[in-house]
Amino acid sequence: MEYKRIVVKVGTSTVCHSGGTPNLRRIERLSMVLSDIKNSGADVVLVTSGAIGAGIHKAGWTKRPDSLPAKQAAAAIGQCELMSIYDRFFREYGSITAQILLTKDVLEESNARHNCMATFGELLAMHIIPIVNENDSVATEEIVYGDNDTLSAAVAELIGADLLILLSDIDGLYDADPSECPDARHLDTVTDLNAVRHLAKGSHSSQGTGGMVTKLRAADIAMNAHIPVVIANGRDPDILYDITDGKKIGTLFVPKESV
């Protein structure tokens, strides 16, 4: 394993079924693989979406609400559901988890940032897997990241990760939307983000808030912090073994100085 500290972000489409119910098989596999990667000696941080999706389902709503208070209520309901599922599965594979909920102001204010960094440091030194989400039930417009892609890049930068993996429902970056254009070409490696920025326009995820635009924004933040990024399909969490073994999977974004 060439990596020492890895941040893995999973989107709602990876951890929830299309109706918002938790995808238990996938969450269990993810918990197993991440525990195994941790056991092999790397520090592992999981950034997970799915709180709002799980909350909507648990509250019995049939569709994603539009109003902020309703979304925040859904997040409050779903976050503890999500954590209890992760906690159960990770424990099964011998790992201890810890919940960290963040908002933008925390990572931008120097004191809070410093404290937060120390908390991550302490948890990782104890071989605990921090599970991070945005604090959706309190976040208002001024303090919100709004998508976990950006949040995961900010976390990777904060803790000095040496790899950020964004798992999604797409195999990486294409030169056209593969759902509309069968000839779309998959890009294995990106070294110049400016040259591919236009490719993200219009792509979106059906369940989460992110899409390729936010993934490229995350790649930008991470690359500026000299952290390589892989965008890959989270359908089968075993893909994390291949990525951390350095195999060519998904799209790898290489920071300039390592080209």
Least CB distance from residue 150 to ligand GLU, whole Å? 8
Binding to ligand GLU (CB under 6 A): which residues in 185-214? 208-210
x/- contact string, 34-73, with ligand GLU (CB under 6 A)? Answer: ---------------xxxxx--------------------
| 12 sits near ligand GLU (criterion: CB under 6 A) | yes
**Do 71 and 35 form a contact (C-beta atoms < 8 A)?**
no
Q: Which is nearer to ligand GLU, 3 or 97 (CB)?
A: 97
The rounded distance, in Å, linking the Cα atoms of 249 and 258 is 18
Pick the piece of the chain touching ligand GLU (CB under 6 A) from 26-34, 57-65, 106-114, 129-137.
129-137
The rounded distance, in Å, linking the Cα atoms of 204 and 185 is 18
- Sheet containing 129-134: which strands, arranged edge to edge? 97-102, 129-134, 43-48, 5-10, 163-168, 229-233, 251-253, 189-190
Residue nearest to ligand GLU (CB): 208
Binding to ligand GLU (CB under 6 A): which residues in 67-106? none
Total residues belonging to the chain = 259
Residue from 14, 103, 133, 203 in contact with ligand GLU (CB under 6 A): 133
Binding to ligand GLU (CB under 6 A): which residues in 135-164? 136, 147-148
Structure tokens at 43: 């520090």
Task: Name the strand (E) or helix (H) holding 34.
Answer: helix 24-39
Q: Which is nearer to ligand GLU, 42 or 231 (CB)?
A: 231
Q: Is 54 exposed, middle or buried (0-12, 13-18, 19+ CB in 10 A)?
A: buried
Q: Which positions lie near ligand GLU, rule CB under 6 A?
A: 11-12, 49-53, 133-134, 136, 147-148, 208-210
